[in-house]
Structure 1
């Protein structure tokens, strides 16, 4: 079957569960302590029992997997303690100066990614989106803002963030607005027990429930497509692959048609019978929430 047909079949199935997906994702935040700082709150969502990833597996995945016999859903979480920092270039800074004297900031607080695989765990398609997390619906760090809302390129601030990447260079280019940038780099507002996705640019003020974002990500209508074959280009897929490679570092797994993502899939896999949901790393990286969907009839 063609890729388009497979994705269309998946979308038709998930569309029947739209409301439960949105509701379960919103409920998955209820087990988190919203008095925590952004990094600790993200860690709670990724790693804690009865919250976040664990809640989604016990409730949302269980519901969808029990309702039909073709697609199997599982969630995984990777938490990294050392965020990669980026350095804005001088041209962008001169146009839109930020508030950090160094004009450096974190790449992201969270990467959300959906990966659709066949019954041999070969990747059919994947979508990803980066988030900066905020406790209030106020953006006071203009360095972070202009990085997401304006900059066309950046450099990693330290060689340790890029020297082992597929692109093997410090520089990366950002997608433009015609290339799904608004949904590729977003803001995550964590306020009063509710998670809201706010698209870039900030001033457009386009917000919706995080649960609706996850539904759209799983149905390939949010985020931006990631392709391993473009991971050495220095563009969007390089940025995603950089983070996946950090997350997959030292993992055992078999590289198939999408190395680095394949290792993550293997780590969290065996789907229904495998209860490994989390991985905590002291290495550099961005926390990851991954939704793995397997088509058991295709392969």
Structure 2
């Protein structure tokens, strides 16, 4: 019997550019908890990757071609299409072996590394109320940012958004010192048969320090082997860093399929970007993010 997934939904705000004055961008991110593992992923990436899985399972997927004879993003039932995301990767946490793995897709390939830094929280006595939950304050320096978390001891899930975990309760509010990244817990839903991301057996294992170089190596191998998942016209071995690294963009690959289970929102659009994105890294769009979630590899 398959156990159901408990999905903790966060409203996430990101400041994409600290140099130019721009509006905060909003999207939903999920923390899916099942058995002894959790998955952090954005709503858009989960929808898109599940669409890809469905389309690849079909013999003749019905994907319309654009004027340039390139596949378009599949449309959803409401006529809208998949929105870009600031989190073009997913994070798997395993409570049994205490590993935290960040996984990014390069075309049809995966590259991942396991986080090697500990979560050294400073728990304060300060308490507050958040959406009806008693929440306690904790702070930590991580990835070049100072983070403030509010966790709810009454929610016995010792986890939170992104890589963050290790507090005695669910992180219900998380924000960096500059206010560039904000995660606010909205609600929990239960999903009997949710789509889940996994680290594939053929995934390239890297390290946190060598991650960008190993991603570039995988791309070069795919180009050398003329892998159809890589668009040679737009290939750029120097671009497309993930949002977790400096000078990052939106990495990953577009695609599609409707997942099983409630995504936690009615307006689930995932669509083509509207602000003149620059193609890079095959069929990947680079949206020029200048404000990655991790500013440093050292802390």
What TM bracket, shorter-length normalisation? Answer: under 0.3
Relative contact order higher in (CA < 8 Å, ≥ 6 apart): 1
TM-score by length of 2: 0.24
Q: More helix by proportion, 1 or 2?
A: 1
TM-score by length of 1: 0.24
Q: More strand by proportion, 1 or 2?
A: 2
